[in-house]
Amino acid sequence: MFEVTVSDSISSAHQLHGYDGPCKYMHGHTWKVEMLVCGNNLDAVGLLTDFKVLKAKLKAVLMPLDHVVLNDLPAFKDMNPSTENLARYIYRSLGTNCAPLSLKHVQVWESDTASVVYYE
């Protein structure tokens, strides 16, 4: 089994309604987002997949999340755009778009020292 990871980042604002602390106020992050795919078969060149193909798939999901207020997006209408919910949203948005590879997980870093991993 081979695993390939690519990453990108977005800068967005959010606030966490119902949170008892400073994150209840509007604030921003530069989130680092990593996606990890896995598979068994290499192509004729010896690659599981081309990094640039995976980067394009991730970029397509991230672009609508960049430089926006996440709370204003329909995806977060009924839930806080926490890092956990953001990771789940990105994972599900990537979905089966990685076939024939399997999307193993998405990891979202809120800061250099704090991240969330989501998988199904």
Residue 71 and residue 89 in contact, taking contact as beta carbons nearer than 8 Å: no
Judge whether 17 counts as a catalytic residue.
Answer: no
Pick the catalytic residue from 3, 14, 110, 120: 110
Cα angle 78, 17, 68; round to 5? 70
Which of 67, 84, 105, 120 is catalytic? The answer is 67
What are the C-alpha distances in Å from 45 to residues 12, 49, 51, 87?
Answer: 38, 10, 13, 32
84 in active site: no
**67 flagged as catalytic:** yes
β-pair type (102-111, 2-14) = unpaired
**Pick from 94, 99, 101, 98: nearest CA to 41:** 101
Write out the catalytic residue numbers.
Answer: 23, 67, 110
